[in-house]
Structure 1
Amino acid sequence: MSNAAVLSSRSRSGKRGSGKNVRRQPRPGVGKSISVALLVLGAIGMVAPFLWMFTTSLRDASQAYDLPPQWLPTEWDWSNYADAVSGPVPILRNMFNSAVIAIAVSIGMIITAPMAGYAFAKIEFPGRNSIFVGLLSSLMVPAQVTIIPLFLLMRTFGLLDNPLSLILPGITGALGVFLLRQFFLGLPQEIIDAARMDGATAWQTYRLIALPLAKNAVSTLGVITFLGSWNAYFAPSIFLNSTDTATLPLGLVLMLGPYGAGNVAQVMAATTIAIAPALIVFLVAQRWIIASLTQSAVKG
């Protein structure tokens, strides 16, 4: 056998051997299809409780506990919404109280947290890191630990059963300071130095340069604070003790009754009404939230 024939035979056998070791690559569309399917399943799991809540608000109270549960009522009863609003529990008044407290707390937070975050990030002062560590450690303290001293403090000032008992402690928070400090740490120091060289004071540098750049982060903090205050139940249940000053979560519990024997359909109607403002706030502010998250991801 000639050398050319031997080389040709080895080449063919090498090609056959290499073909056995090559793994088939998955199709490009398979991974995308799996991701879409998982996202659809997750979306269904998140929407299903809201769909059940809405359909329950449109059925008779006797059908609320049907087993197996029926997703669609046999008869659509819109009177539950009117009964929920005109019932013995002043839901609209409770919703107004929640809105006043949530808006006041959000405004206070977006005023105080950026200033404190900027100070911890860009201003040198004695004990800055120690103070910040102490502030950050407060996040590890449960609210149940501090609620009794806070209750005694509010009673001393005569603020029990008053919205100020929730507004004053809520306008400051370690979480907001931490979030804004992390944002301001990402600002180039050259921008701050250039403003100082131009004669700007620390307040002018913060108000005219740093704060406008942080509008997305501040908006995100405002939305988070609003939703947290809107849904709060523990602190209002301690400081507020009348139906006229109660917030919306307290009103929903009062509608359900002490043993859960209330009209579930009316409670679900009131809950549907309660979700609407929070949903509107989120839909309006979602572009700022997405921009803040995108900006943080790019910096990271």
Structure 2
Amino acid sequence: MSETTLTRTDRSMPTARLLRRRRRPPTATVVCVVLLALGTVGMLAPFAYMLVTALKSAQHAYDLPPDWYPKEFHWQNFTDAINGPLPLLRNLWNSAFIAAITTLGMLITAPMAGYAFAHLRFPGRNGLFVLLLAALMVPIQVTVIPLFLIMRNLHLINTPWSLILPQVTGAFGVFLMRQFFLSVPRELFEAAKVDGANEWTIYRAVALPLVKNGLSALGILTFLTSWNAYFAPSIFLNSQDSATLPLALVLMRGPFSTGQINVIMAATTFAVVPAFIVYLIAQRWIIAGLTSSAVKG
């Protein structure tokens, strides 16, 4: 009893210690979780302040320190934002229309160019790709003046098309789709050619279905970028009826920022909520798309 029992006990003690160690999370994991939690609070705090201020009265909107739970909920702030001097619903429609058409154009043009750079052989391909990468480093502020002159000559200033046409394709979208097409095995395309498929059939029936994650990521990023854009609309749009939602929010401040901050925060909620919902629904496609694009360079 003594020798056998002691042997079994001695053997079971390391196992019990290992189980306790496995149940106890490593210190590095705990530190990472705490840091992520603090970062989450820091990122959500502005949105919480926006919602709280949107429900306050104008008298208590500037309270310091801020009251994170309003004593009274003023839901009429959202009605005042819609029925204010600016056509907010019209501005909301303008943003949605421009973002939707821009996204559709990007999803048509960028995959075609990305496929060509990835799998077609043509003279000057490498040089054009270098120019494409160089275009990624040029900010819009550098090209806005010649772009404005082009749109003025086309009589498109103060119309949605002055924002749509320059954004229906872009260097980032082409580069992103090229990376996705490079991750597709070339043997699939060669097998399709053996079966008699031409380049268009290979692109449409073979290549596109294999990069659905990339198309989803590109579409969502393009929509959110267009939805949140402010600089270009402030240059090309000059009336309240044609303004996009971010531009309308700035106009609501009024001269010398005399606008009611609670009503402005209510209008800002209309701008944030659609983009927030789109991101929550599609975040898995964004992550899957951006991570899989780095598989092959």
Partner of 1:63: 60
Q: Per the alignment, in what secondary structure is the counterpart of residue 229 of structure 1? A: helix
Name 2:289's counterpart in structure 1: 292
Does residue 74 of the first structure (1) align with residue 65 of the second (2)? no
Residue 297 of structure 1 deviates from its aligned partner by 5.9
Task: Give the aligned partner of residue 217 of structure 1.
Answer: 214
CA RMSD of superposed structures (Å): 1.7
Using a 3 Å threshold, how does the CA distance of structure 1 residues 31 and 286 change in structure 2: closer, same or farther?
Answer: same
The CA distance in 2 between the partners of 1:178 and 1:295, in whole Å, is 14
Identical-pair percentage: 61
Question: How many angstroms does 1:258 deviate by?
Answer: 2.9
Which of 273, 279, 282 aligns to 1:282? It is 279
Please, what TM-score do these two structures have when normalized by structure 1?
0.88
Determine if the alignment matches structure 1 residue 249 to structure 2 residue 246.
yes
CA shift, 1:68, in A, is 1.4
> Is 1:156–2:153 an aligned residue pair?
yes
Aligned counterpart, 1:20 = none
Equivalent residue number for residue 109 of structure 2? 112
| 1:99-139: CA deviation from partner (whole Å, max 9, x where unpaired) | 00000000000110000000000000000010111122111
CA contact (8 A) 2:180 2:292 kept: no
Distance across 2 between alignment mates of 1:185 and 1:127: 19
Paired with 1:107 and 1:28, the residues of 2 have a C-alpha distance of 46
Q: Secondary structure at the match of 2:252?
A: helix
Paired position in structure 1 for 2:14:
none
1:252 & 1:263 partners in 2: Cα distance? 12
**How big is the shift at 1:295?**
3.1
Deviations 1:13-39 (A, max 9, x none): xxxxxxxxxxxx996432222121111
Q: 1:227-268, CA deviations, whole angstroms, 9 ceiling, x for partnerless residues?
A: 000010111111111111100011101111132110000000
Amino acid at match of 2:288: A
Q: Which moved more, 1:31-40 or 1:227-236?
A: 31-40
Paired with 1:299 and 1:72, the residues of 2 have a C-alpha distance of 50
- DSSP-derived class of the 2:188 partner: helix
> Among 27, 31, 43, which residue is 1:34 paired with?
31
Unaligned runs of 5+ in 2: 1-20
Query: If you compute each CA radius of gyration, which structure gives the higher value, 1 or 2?
Result: 1
Partner of 2:172: 175
- Find the residue that maps to 1:192 and give its secondary structure: helix
Q: Measure the CA separation in 2 of the matches of 1:75 and 1:153.
A: 52
Unaligned runs of 5+ in 1: 1-24
The alpha-carbon distance between structure 1 residues 66 and 32, as it changes in their structure 2 partners (threshold 3 A), is same
Cα separation, 1, equivalents of 2:294 and 2:25: 26
Which residue matches 1:261?
A: 258
In the superposition, the TM-score normalised over structure 2's length comes to 0.89
Greater shift after overlay, 65-74 or 144-153? 65-74
Residue 35 of structure 2 corresponds to residue 45 of structure 1: no
Match of 1:226 among 223, 228, 232: 223
Distance 1:28 1:230 in 2: 42
- How far the C-alpha of 1:164 sits from its partner, in A, is 0.5
The residue matched to 1:200 in structure 2 has which SS? coil
How many equivalent residue pairs?
A: 276
- Give the match's secondary structure for 2:26: helix
Residue matched to 2:184? 187
> Which of residues 128, 132, 143 is equivalent to 2:129?
132
Q: Is 1:102 aligned to 2:84, yes or no?
A: no
- Which letter does structure 2 place at the counterpart of 1:233? Y
